[in-house]
Amino acid sequence: MRETLHSVNDEWQADGSLENPRALFRIWSALQFTFCVPVVGGGDLSIRELFGEGLSWAGCTFIHLLNQVDLYTAFDMNNHILSVQRAERKLNGIVLGVGGFGSDAAQGVAGAGAGGAGATGAGGGGAAGDGSGTAAALAAAGLRPDVVQFLESAVFYQNVNEEVFGRLACII
């Protein structure tokens, strides 16, 4: 796999310029952003429901093999959106319980819960596991249900990414 990636390495690298739109970390960030967009159709399944963590494992593996983990972490759109949401929540004094979207214990930027295992542990990373109380608190704060669903998916993918990058760093 490393040899195959080496052949396309020049096209997918940032080449010292963060403005390269073909750098894989930018493409993967945009793809994960679209994974979080709630399903518009009534009975359709979301990307998360269809593929689980598989797509994240694949994308994070490529990013790791191309040595773009630090760039991805620094410039990920979902991470930025979650940081803005946390700051906005703190400004407005909204406090959510542990285990739901937005609790600092469940979604910390530097760690995915307890030891990075929150993404696959019981409750699915805590993002959607709590559901009703958290969703009601966010709705009371003025967030539409589709925005809450997006934020919960973003937390899920952030936790999975951190777990995958941590495991890949130990293996490869």
What does residue 68 show for φ and ψ, rounded to 5 degrees?
-115, 20
Q: Number of structural domains, the chain?
A: 1
| Residue tagged 């495991």 (tokens) | 167
Whether the CB-CB separation of 112 and 125 falls below 8 Å is answered with yes
Separation of alpha carbons 145 and 164, rounded Å: 29
Whether the CB-CB separation of 147 and 106 falls below 8 Å is answered with no
pLDDT for 115 beyond 90 = no
Quote the domain boundaries for residue 30: 2-171
**Tens digit of each residue's pLDDT (9 = 90 or more) over 122-170:** 333 333 344 445 566 666 667 888 888 899 899 999 999 999 999 999 9
Residue of 55, 16, 17, 63 lying closest to 34 (CA atoms): 55
**Tens digit of each residue's pLDDT (9 = 90 or more) over 30-49:** 999 999 988 766 667 788 88
**Tens digit of each residue's pLDDT (9 = 90 or more) over 42-73:** 667 788 888 889 999 999 999 998 888 998 99
63 HSE (CA, 13 A, CB side): 29
